[in-house]
Amino acid sequence: MNTPVHRLTLQQINAMEKLEFVESLGGIFEHSPWVAEGVYGRRPFEHLQHLHTEMMDIAQNAEPDRQLALLKAHPDLATRLAVSPLSAAEQQGAGLDRLTPEEFRQLTELNAAYTERFRFPFILAVRGKDKDDILNAIRERVGRSLEEEQAQALREIGKITRFRLEDLLGTG
């Protein structure tokens, strides 16, 4: 589901002052504007992929505590708690706002088991997936090692942030 956002051009992004840049791109990585702050000095960006690669480099090479904070900034899927507008729209697009009571219970239990095991929420790029895909993915991933799951969570964040940048730049 495409989130309604104010579209920008790469030229506008490259020309922004730091405060405007961070305000415009700070939400691409869930509640982690430090990624946008860190990438600001790497301008100009030649294309969307260049911007995304540089943002992912900041996230992947962050100190372990900061990287864990990035993972923890993501909401549980199908949570009834407040989530960012981008996350809410992404989850609605996957049908997570229309789970049956039994599906909601299963996902809640799987989320709890996952978070207990890994100390961060289950992260999945839900665009293009349905509730069955999501339930199957969490069932499979809850048994992985911490190292595998941290790497997978960062890959999923890469997919999520790529979608968000495409929406922002009108190329998705």
C-alpha torsion sign, points 22, 122, 153, 93 = negative
All structural domains of the chain: 10-169 (1.10.3330.10)
Cα separations (Å) of 99 from 46, 80, 94, 96, 134?
Answer: 41, 12, 10, 6, 12
- Residue 74 among the catalytic residues: yes
Q: What is the pTM of this model?
A: 0.86
Q: Is a pLDDT exceeding 70 seen at residue 4?
A: no
Is pLDDT of 5 > 70?
A: no
DSSP state of 155: H
Find all residues with CB under 8 Å of 118, minimum gap 6, and list them: 146, 149, 150
Question: What is the CB-side half-sphere exposure of residue 38 using CA atoms within 13 A?
Answer: 18
**What is the predicted pLDDT for the residue at 85?**
59
Average pLDDT over residues 125-139: 91
Phi-psi region of 77 (alpha: psi -120 to 50; beta: other; left: phi over 0): beta
> Of 6, 47, 52, 74, which one is the catalytic site residue?
74
Cα(103)–Cα(145) distance, integer angstroms: 25
1-10, 22-31, 161-170: least confident range: 1-10
